[in-house]
Amino acid sequence: MWHLVLLILSLLSSTRVYGEPEVPCYFIFGDSLYDTGNNNDLDTLAKANYPPYGIDFPGGPSGRFTNGRTTTDLIAEYLGFDKYIPSFASARGQDILKGVNYASGSAGIRDETGQHLGVRISLNNQLKNHQTTISRIETIKGKDSATNLLNKCMYTVGMGSNDYINNYLSNCYNTRTMYTPEQYATVLIQQYSQQLKKLYEYGARKVAVLGIGPLGCTPGNVALHGTNGSLCVGFINDAVELFNSKLISLVDEFNKDLHDAKFIYVNIYGMALVAVKASRLINISPCCEIGANVNTTFHCIRDGASHPLVLLILSLSSSNRVYGEPEVPCYFIFGDSLYDNRNNNDLDTLAKANYPPYGVDFPQGPSGRFTNGRTTTDLIAEHLGFDKYIPSFASAQGQEILEGVNYASGSAGICDETGQHLGVRISLNNQIKNHQTTISRIETMKGKDSATNLLNKCMYTVGMGSNDYINNYLSNSYNTRTMYTPEQYATVLIQQYSQQLKKLYEYGARKVAVLGIGPLGCTPGNVALHGTNGSLCVGFINDAVELFNSKLISLVDEFNKDLHDAKFIYVNIYGMALVAVKASRLINISPCCEVGANVNTTFQCIRDGKSCKIFKALHLFWDATHPSETANVITARRSYHALLPSDTYPIDIHRLARL
């Protein structure tokens, strides 16, 4: 179980750099784990320029042997590059000054490795290609400047997997009859040593050598060799560990003997084992349909099926948090229970969450947040660089308001009457009135002109509309469903929302992220109340929500066109949430806490009721309508830095903050 916890922590704890890259260039050597298209035009079975490869990559199938980005794509992002490092096959002109990717599927340390699959670019030939690149750089910059540049670049080299899979372990080669595993590892390291020294001679000083992963745990090797009841093929992993241990020693040797050398070893083996050992809860079978013969059994069938869980994992693994000065001076939050952080605590309402099991994972315990930990806007505040959570309007005191206020209120809506059957709530109109009060206080502190200047620079998020469906249009306590068709109701809501957002603009808001409504038809509460006719979600509810969201996108366009200096963006909560819902065979979409038994409380946790413990991180919903912190992490990260072009429109929160 702890292996799963470590896996989740790994996915939730990453740091990405933006601005100037940390190194001027990045050169990549490797095999299919890192290939970004070098094999596309080669005569080989080892290529991945067809679906379902690339189904989650912005440009579709690209030659990457995965659904989205490779490890080295992501490393480039973390280093601060705003574009992926081009493949040697595609690099042109000035492109090469920022680096080149030479990796080739089925390639190895040994030249003959992978030859049964067709043409490939062995490490020796990748080094020759690098010589060509160096000559081009010298032509562009001159020899001395080129040498200086190359000394500062980052290099990753990930080789050796194919020297086992497509050589030592394959019946197409006789290496296993020639060498014991110990001898073969020694032979490989001796050749690898000469190749890495050659790279050093060409100017490489900062070199990350990526070890081989636990090849005995791959679905292909498990199917081909069997495991005798274990998770993995033991003799294969043993052989790999021999190689890796010798590689670590080689890194030590280089750092000792090569002047100014800075080599590091990356323990891919150890990292991957964390996920493998969580296999009772995390699926380690192939995500795509694979071939039926020995030469294609490791590859996806062209246009075969695949699984949406991959996007969920990418969402968890694409962390972006800013440290230091916040990117904006202040952050104001308007919304409903998805973003409420205690404004309802002292109101006469059923819509409150200041009791356990809400807040069981929040540092101060139950706080009024309708989740187990942090809300999406708490996390956005972290990403923006704030070192404290934005205070609720109910609790904000003195100078605190200069960094922002959270006005969100559980059960509140765009319409004033929304949620009235649950008790007192602070509608969006009243939240805007509270914001007027805050502005008056800021003007008293700073003067009117300085206050206006401050408010123009702040970030604003507005997330409204969910309750106008759940606690109005879909509720028998209201007659709106008899008054309006879904199309008409969406139009009425957007007309009112438009006036409210314009009022916020008049009060100085210029950077506004409008958070769309999520797939309400997929919440456990609505599924239980309305049924799904065999589908995952309640179709008519999601259809109604999509009408609203489409009109909201048009409203964002209208504001950016008509309002001077307005910078509105739309955040596609609906699309992000659907990724997780579609992974429901592996990720739990039932409530994590015990929920109430009547219609007014069926969406909320029972006070002091039970909640899931061990599997908490795999639940998307905390109660029957509100997301868990895990889901909020996904939403916040993709809102702040869009994983897909559809996540935000026209830009993401990170870019909005920088304007």
- Whether the upstream peptide bond of residue 366 has omega within 30° of 0, thus cis, is no
CA distances from 401 to 431, 440, 442, 454, 458 (A): 15, 11, 7, 12, 12
Alpha carbons 613 and 602: distance in angstroms, whole number: 21
Residue 193 known to be catalytic: no
Residue 626 known to be catalytic: yes
* Listed residue (558, 535, 568, 588) closest to 649, CA to CA: 568
**Which of the residues 104, 161, 170, 337 is marked catalytic?**
337
- For 321, residues 6+ apart whose C-beta sits below 8 A from its C-beta are 15, 382, 383
Q: What are phi and psi of 118, to 5 degrees?
A: 125, -160
* Listed residue (47, 39, 35) closest to 71, CA to CA: 35
**Which of the residues 623, 641, 647, 654 is marked catalytic?**
623
**Which of the residues 626, 647, 652, 654 is marked catalytic?**
626
- Containing 462, the helix (H) or strand (E) segment is strand 459-463
- Whether the upstream peptide bond of residue 357 has omega within 30° of 0, thus cis, is yes
First to last CA, the chain: 44
* Listed residue (624, 33, 617) closest to 282, CA to CA: 617
Alpha carbons 367 and 358: distance in angstroms, whole number: 8
> Do 124 and 110 meet the contact criterion of CB atoms below 8 Å apart?
no
| DSSP letter, residue 66 | S
Partners of 571 in the β-ladder:
515, 648
Q: Give the total residue count for the chain.
A: 659
Other Cβ atoms less than 10 A from the Cβ of 75: the count is 20
| Dihedral of the alpha carbons of 193, 195, 196, 202, in degrees to the nearest 10 | 140
- For 236, residues 6+ apart whose C-beta sits below 8 A from its C-beta are 164, 169, 215, 216, 221, 225
The catalytic site residues sit at 337, 623, 626
